[in-house]
Amino acid sequence: MALHCPECGFVNPEGANYCQKCGAFVGPAESPKDPVTATYRIDETGDLIPVELEDVVAQGAALVIRAGGGRVGESFALAEDAERLTIGRRPDSAVFLDDVTVSRDHALIVHRGGDWHLDDLGSLNGTYVNRHRIDTHRLQDGDELQVGKYKLTFLSR
């Protein structure tokens, strides 16, 4: 059975411990439990505020950065009364991802008919959900989003 690299998606031969393309660890997990990521948000002063993920998701849905840019664990709540959330390299984006792989106005999360949808805004590098390039996609709990070098998970309870 081939092993897909969790970082770049390269298909590695069975038994490999590291990705032949990017060097990321692809070997067997050391623990049968899922890895735990500490979750936080950034307040107005730039300080990291630890949060319980269940508390964030209880208010609605949330995005959590899982890889990229040294911001693993940062969360963004999507309140049920919110209509949209911008994602991009523009500093006033709701989800500001400061890297050249991210377009200034990369993607938009929109609340339509009770569901959250992810729309690509014509970004150069594309927007991916579960490793498939999308133009628009209805998000479901556990979906993995890729925006540039960042991987985020959409959580909804």
Q: Which residue(s) pair with 138 in the sheet?
A: 117
Residue 77 contacts residue 40 (beta carbons within 8 Å): no
> Distance between CA atoms of 113 and 128, rounded to whole angstroms?
22
pLDDT digits (tens, 9 = 90+) for 44-61: 676 666 666 566 556 678
Residue 100 contacts residue 84 (beta carbons within 8 Å): no
Q: What is the pTM of this model?
A: 0.68
pLDDT digits (tens, 9 = 90+) for 132-154: 999 999 999 999 999 999 999 99
